[in-house]
Amino acid sequence: MATLVAQVAPTLLTLQGIGVVLAGTVLAEVGDIKRFEDVHHFASYCGAAPVERGSGKNTRWCVSVGGNRQLNRVLHLMALTRLRCDERTKTFVTRKEQEGKTKRAALRALKTHLARELYRTLQARHMGGPIPAHS
């Protein structure tokens, strides 16, 4: 599998938190990245796009219960790995918690951010250009 992933999408292996198995899962589940209009469509497909829920005056943002559960699992494992190893990710989650979000809500926001990064990486592979800088 490592040989195939290295041939098809070696840039996936450069992302922190993705190994050969997760990269293979991403490639198998996504297929052709051109089928997604934009990053928002991709995040929704991954189950990482925020959706407003509520009743009456209560509204809150949740992650869609739909979406591809395997890609959502990849994002979750990426998030956990980065929380353990990456200072920028720890700072991101801490900032979200200081904004009043719970740990789970901060993790959801992180997964949305990671879905965008994954989309940009797959787009760059498709276009053959450099990977855009993180925003």
What's the confidence (pLDDT) of residue 67? 86
pLDDT (tens digit, 9 = 90+) per residue, 45-58? Answer: 998 888 777 877 87
pTM: 0.84
31-49 per-position pLDDT tens digit: 889 999 999 999 999 988 8
Mean pLDDT score, 92-101? 94
* Cβ neighbour number for residue 36 with a 10 Å cutoff: 19
> Please, which pLDDT band fits residue 126 given cuts at 50, 70 and 90?
low
Q: Could you tell me the end-to-end alpha-carbon distance of the chain, in angstroms, rounded to an integer?
A: 31
- Output the pLDDT for position 128: 53
Share of the chain above pLDDT 70, in %: 92
Query: From CA 11, how far away is CA 17, in angstroms rounded?
Result: 13
Tell me, what's the pLDDT at 64? 72
Determine the Cα–Cα distance for residues 70 and 21; give it in Å rounded to an integer: 12
Per-residue pLDDT band at 81 (split at 50, 70, 90) = very high
Is the per-residue pLDDT at 134 higher than 50? no
